[in-house]
Structure 1
Amino acid sequence: MSGDQGRLACDVAVIGAGTAGIAAEAAARKQGARTLLIDPEFRGTLCASTGCMPSKLLLAAAHAAHDIRRAPVFGVHAEGLRIDGKAVMQRVRDERDHFVAATRESFDKLPEGVAIRSRARFTGPNTLVLEDGRQVSAKAIVIATGSTTLIPAPLKDLGDRGLTNETIFELPDLPESLAVIGGGPIGLEMAQAMGRLGVKVTLFDKSRTLGKARDPQVAEALQHAVEDDMTLRLGCDTSAKPVNGGVMVEWSGGDNGQAVFSHVLIAVGRPPNLEGLGLDQSGLALDDHGTPLFNRQTLQCGDAPVFMAGDADADAPLLHEASDEGAIAGSNAAQYPVVTPDQRKTAFSMIFTDPPHASVGIAPPSALMGRADYSNQGRARAEGRAMGCMVVHADPQGRLLGAEFCAPGAEHLSHLLVWAIERGLTAMDLLSLPFYHPTLEEGMKPALRDICAKAGQHQPANQDSACPPGA
């Protein structure tokens, strides 16, 4: 990096120090590029501060309470369950801060002069201006500015009783009641967690399908998984306004009504954080939403020296995708104008409800389909959590293409399936492998056998099950 007091020059300038930006800067520097990492706060990744980690900390408390409540199923009775809401929220923040601190330590290890605390906006395809007026010229630029909270007009002006994933974890205590607007991953996870911690929760969504579940049976299983922990109002529009003691939520569609809640969690999505970047000066082609058009395999925007990565590109807002995209974008930015396509990994997403909902891969409507029912699966029944189902897709030769399910152990089973898809394995290949008994993994066998039968293949002799379906 070089420059004077008013001008900085580098090979690769990365805007945004979240997961994607950190990966992009590291990948570019690994290629020998002189780098700048520009961010107004350097507060740590969204995952550590307001996303993946604090939400899982809250879910961990909720699971503990739920396990105590369902213990009588096993003849175990724990009397006097008491949930200390202040202690729950304090542990969430304490552990969250531990994860954030670990992320921030990585900034301290950057070479001197790489981290620039400022906002940046384009003044041309290769140039930026910082808040203090300094000019940045770069051979290539990576946009990794992440996403921002979306608050629709009917839900604005709720004051501190209107929550988002960026503020809910700052509550000093559990809310008395909570309206959750949005049935996506954030909404579902927080609604179930709060419900299991004793909060009266109602979840609203415009869609009648939670979590964008594609398969009708899986969608039904997901709804069944959460409906005991909250009131569901689906297929409705909502608006809200402050009233004494809380927020009045009104809904219409299907049935109409209104109710007062102490707090409202707005979880209707996180669009790209592109405001103030001066994209009109970048020379980039934009889509109808104002997001630069880019190539998924190279992360390059057209033929410009500009690359996109992470939530900013509105493609796959997941941490592992952001990390991968950052590495691809940073490497290609460092080598620009030589740009190398990368083979993207199999699509993979998860909602950490109990049981979890998982989706892996993408399959055409003509794909072979196999189903497995977990409502009487042996290990799940032994653990008192027999519920849910799985659907697996494959090509005509039985090669696995995708799966969707809501079932016990889905966060682990989905990894097995996405790894199998990545390796090009068939249903027969999986059935040929050892399955220990009794395990949740055995529950996949009916779906795999369905696919083998439809592909005209005979299952291996060593996989003829002597156990009844529920054993």
Structure 2
Amino acid sequence: MYGTAVAVIGAGSAGLTAYRSARQHTDSVLLIDPGPLGTTCARVGCIPSKLLIAAADSAWHMRHADRLGVSAGTIQVDGVRVMQRVRQMRDRFVGKVLKGMESIPGEDQLKQTVRFAGNHLLETAEGEQIEAERIVIATGSRPSVPRMLQAAGTRLLVNDDLFELTDLPQSVVVFGPGVIGLELGQALHRLGVRVRMFGIGGAIGPIEDEAIRQAALEQFGQEFPLDPDAQVTAIQETEIGVEVSFQTADGDSVTETFDYLLAATGRRPNVDQLGLEHTDLELDTHGVPRFDPHTLQCSAEHIFIAGDANNDLPLLHEASDEGAIAGRNAALLPEIQPGHRTVPLAIVFSDPQIATVGLRPSRIEAEYTNHYAVARFDFADQARAKVLGRDRGLMKVWAEKESGTLLGVEILGPDAEHLAHLLAWAIQQRLSVRDLLQMPYYHPVLEEGIRSLLRDLKSRL
């Protein structure tokens, strides 16, 4: 048995940041992870998915250049080369992460799995024990696949598997029109793969506003079959693929066969194999430790939890922020303090893109009832969007009536990633509608849509 002041379980985005944050305050930090290393984002998440999307968007814009009077001729998608570039570029990003880990001393790393054997005691698979004064859980998450989808057998894919394909398949059925499903499903479609997408409950990505949800359903439904509240009756692996039986909106029974079934049905925190039952931690209904979102401290005060493992905000920038808070507080316990948190910001790299900023509409309604105003803007009326031939989507902004400060934003539209950042910065600086209307707006740019929306919002305040 040996001991450490701080043990960080997990070397992903949250764990690496937690280690470095704790190391600023103590030399006794142990980073524990059996591998594979390189972070979920770089290996199987945001990086490879954006590489696939880049290829897909190039093919799509070439096919549709004719509307601008430009002909690109016959478009050919070389699936082997597309997937080869995805893996090569992904491996470069993973390599950079691993290169950055070279600065971590070998004695500070333990490349094994561990479980709790007590409140302060960790145990490896070989029975070696580590006594830790404080512990940060940063074990990340993994794809969650409902039992029904597991009937696809060897034809079942999760996003981790998709990027290992050496060629593009002919057809894929996607379950889950959330962030992962929308991004990968649309990208595959644009690369020439036959795609059908199913969901449950009617949700489209992270959208809450009903008007924007309907607009998104219409836009994506024009590209590929999308049923966000599907009635799937059977899934079966066959010799040539996976067979899916379902009912159409008209009530007809249909059976289609696809090469693969892509399960994009969410992720689950990697905490179920940690032996949490050997601790005094209070767990929620999903088996995740309860924690203070401001300090990341759990009910057992020497344990902190950060990143995807806490099932709160599974985004890289949030994981890094949480890792910094958890690492610092673990190192300086009992002198803990709330950490700096940025305005919530999430982006779906579909086309049109989807973005959410600040408070969600349901929370605004609950906390600011009768004290907020909301305005909407249709990109069909936007000059720059028309010039680009990308005049599709809606944007809504909510503001507090008394102060005029922005509360939240939902966007479905072109280059929403950039508009969302501008509005996130505005919300974090607590700028009012009046403040933002005094900012410069060039013509013609997509940002003029923000000005039009704010003018409308000001009249409603």
TM value normalised by structure 1: 0.93
1:162 CA drift (Å): 0.8
Match of 1:274 in 2: 271
Match of 1:260 in 2: 257
- Alignment match of 2:448 (pick from 408, 426, 442): 442
CA–CA separation in structure 1 for the residues paired with 2:255 and 2:307: 38
1:423-442 aligned at under 5 Å gives the runs: 423-442=429-448
1:237 CA drift (Å): 4.2
Please say if residues 125 and 304 of structure 1, whose CA atoms lie closer than 8 Å, have aligned partners that are also in contact.
no
CA–CA separation in structure 2 for the residues paired with 1:134 and 1:323: 30
Secondary structure in 2 matching 1:440: coil
Match of 2:413 in 1: 407
1:276 CA drift (Å): 1.6
Number of residue pairs aligned between Structure 1 and Structure 2: 449
Match of 1:71 in 2: 65
Match of 1:244 in 2: 239
Q: Does 1:332 align with 2:338?
A: no
TM value normalised by structure 2: 0.95
Aligned AA (2:399):
A
Secondary structure in 2 matching 1:203: strand
Match of 2:310 in 1: 313
Structure 1 residue runs of 4 or more that deviate by more than 3 Å after TM superposition: 252-256
Match of 2:155 in 1: 161
Q: Percent of aligned positions with the same letter in both sequences?
A: 43
CA–CA separation in structure 2 for the residues paired with 1:96 and 1:10: 34
CA–CA separation in structure 1 for the residues paired with 2:420 and 2:194: 31
- Alignment match of 1:357 (pick from 354, 358, 361): 354
Q: Tell me the alpha carbon deviations over residues 49-88 of structure 1, each in whole angstroms, 9 at most, x when there is no partner.
A: 0000000000000010011011111110111111101111
Q: Does 1:290 align with 2:326?
A: no
Please say if residues 33 and 112 of structure 2, whose CA atoms lie closer than 8 Å, have aligned partners that are also in contact.
yes
- Alignment match of 1:190 (pick from 184, 191, 194): 184
Match of 1:9 in 2: 3
Match of 1:145 in 2: 139
1:236 CA drift (Å): 1.7
CA–CA separation in structure 2 for the residues paired with 1:140 and 1:392: 43
- Alignment match of 1:104 (pick from 90, 98, 118): 98
Secondary structure in 2 matching 1:17: coil
Please say if residues 163 and 265 of structure 1, whose CA atoms lie closer than 8 Å, have aligned partners that are also in contact.
yes
CA–CA separation in structure 1 for the residues paired with 2:245 and 2:179: 23
Secondary structure in 2 matching 1:158: helix
Match of 1:95 in 2: 89
Secondary structure in 2 matching 1:223: helix
Aligned AA (2:13):
T
User: What RMSD over aligned residues (CA atoms) do the two structures have, in Å?
Assistant: 1.3
1:252 CA drift (Å): 4.7
Please say if residues 372 and 445 of structure 1, whose CA atoms lie closer than 8 Å, have aligned partners that are also in contact.
no
Please say if residues 393 and 414 of structure 2, whose CA atoms lie closer than 8 Å, have aligned partners that are also in contact.
yes
1:446 CA drift (Å): 2.3
- Segments of 5+ residues of structure 1 without an aligned counterpart are 1-6, 456-471
Secondary structure in 2 matching 1:167: helix
Please say if residues 205 and 236 of structure 1, whose CA atoms lie closer than 8 Å, have aligned partners that are also in contact.
yes
